[in-house]
Chains A and B, each alone.
Chain A
Amino acid sequence: MRRAQAAGPILGALSLMALSALVLWPVVAGDSPWPLAPGDYLEARGQAESGAQNLVSAIYLGYRAYDTLGEAIVLLVAVTGAIGMIASAGDARGGAADTRFGGAARRRTELLDVVTGKLGPVVLVFGVYVMMFGHISPGGGFQGGVVVASGIVFLSLGRRSSHGPRITRAGTLAAVEALSFLVIMLAVGLGLVTGSGFMGNPLPGASPVVSIVVLNALIGLKVGAGISLMCVAMLAEANEPW
């Protein structure tokens, strides 16, 4: 009986590995050539058509901007869900949760205060740089937004009291995220009014790179605010009234 119980997980693991090998074998052993047509097309015409030197930006804000819009919505929904779960968790056991690690008091040290307080603004500036220059160098809205979010997390770790800079407050971050998403929707809908269609270039004479730069900045704001909102909420500040 006991032997049978011990054999169960081993059999399960073996069959799992066999199944994975079956599924992954074509991936590992296949030697079909890489399809070169899309890459060659982008190399030849991508910069002329989108105006962006960085072809990755040209794809995700030019050729595939619909996809990016959906991605931004997914991020918004995920942030909303995570914040909802964290904020409504409350103290179900009346504070009986595990407090062995001291909570907020022991997390603050002089070293943490000094390092994160000085590093935070630098990281913020670098994030804005990555965000704004995504069309000519590696980077873009999502990458820059994450760097901005880590800068905000630094600032919120480094503050000494609960009266930190306004940028680390959950209410401000939520407002920034909601506003930037609204502006994104307005910006991509502007083409409907001027006659070039949804997500079309609203100004007939303008270079298409303008829309890439504007969308990079807006998406960076939105991603930075959303991710730092989640982090700030998870840093045990969820119990504070917003």
Chain B
Amino acid sequence: MVARLLVGMLFLVGLWGVVAKRNLVKKVFGLSILNSAVVLLFVMEGSRSGTAAPIMDAGVADIVDPVPQALMLTAIVIGVCVTALALGMAFRLHRATGSFDIDTIKERLRHGPF
């Protein structure tokens, strides 16, 4: 229960970063934290289903469910893809306007020669 609440708070921290921060790179950090919170939730819940790692050496018994771990492998890779694309967009906007601040970017895009 406490662990779930902590993961939920981590999720909210990420959401706060995405919504409230003005710096584009910090927004990407927030997105990454959101993703990590979901990954942590899955791995934590899966870890309750057994005691040993799901690697079938001789004598290993009572392994944890490997399905959420395999699922989170996919989620991590997709998270990297999302982060990379978001950073690419931030890079492009910085090239065009010289700033990472969303208000400055908006201002310069409105008044600049673009």
Query: B-contacting residues of A (Cβ < 8 Å)?
Result: 16-17, 20, 24, 27-29, 34, 36, 38-39, 42-43, 46-47, 53-56, 58-60, 64, 67-68, 71, 74-75, 77-79, 81-83, 85-86, 89-93, 96-98, 136-138, 140, 142, 146, 223, 227, 230, 234
Contact = CB atoms under 8 A, between A and B. Distances in A.
Interface in B87-111: 87-89, 91-92, 94-96, 98-99
14 contacts: A27-B8, A36-B49, A39-B64, A42-B54, A53-B57, A58-B66, A74-B77, A78-B82, A79-B84, A90-B95, A98-B98, A136-B55, A137-B55, A142-B73
Nearest to B1: A28
B99 A98 contact: yes
B12 A234 contact: no
Nearest to B75: A71
B23 interface: no
B81 A97 contact: no
Given A20-B15, A74-B78, A97-B95, A28 B63 contact: no
Q: Which of B64, B73, B91 has the most C-beta atoms of chain A within 10 angstroms of its own C-beta?
A: B73
Contact of B55 (A79, A138, A146): A138
Interface in B53-80: 53-57, 63-67, 69-70, 73-74, 76-78, 80
Contacts of A85: 85, 88-89, 91-92
Contact of A36 (B15, B65, B89): B65
Q: Which of B46, B70, B74 has the most C-beta atoms of chain A within 10 angstroms of its own C-beta?
A: B70
Contacts of B54: 42-43, 54-56
B78 A98 contact: no
Contact of A39 (B49, B73, B94): B49
B17 to A, nearest CB: 13
B96 A93 contact: yes
B65 A20 contact: no
A35 B91 CA distance: 44
B65 A39 contact: yes
Nearest to A90: B95
Contacts of B1: 28-29
A60 B55 contact: no
A83 B57 CA distance: 42
B4 interface: yes
A138 B55 CA distance: 8
Contacts of A43: 54, 56, 63
B55 A97 contact: no
Contacts of A60: 70, 73-74
A56 B95 contact: no
Nearest to A68: B74
Contacts of A227: 80, 84
B55 A71 contact: no
B19 A55 contact: no
Contact of B56 (A24, A28, A55): A55
Contact of A27 (B4, B48, B64, B91): B4
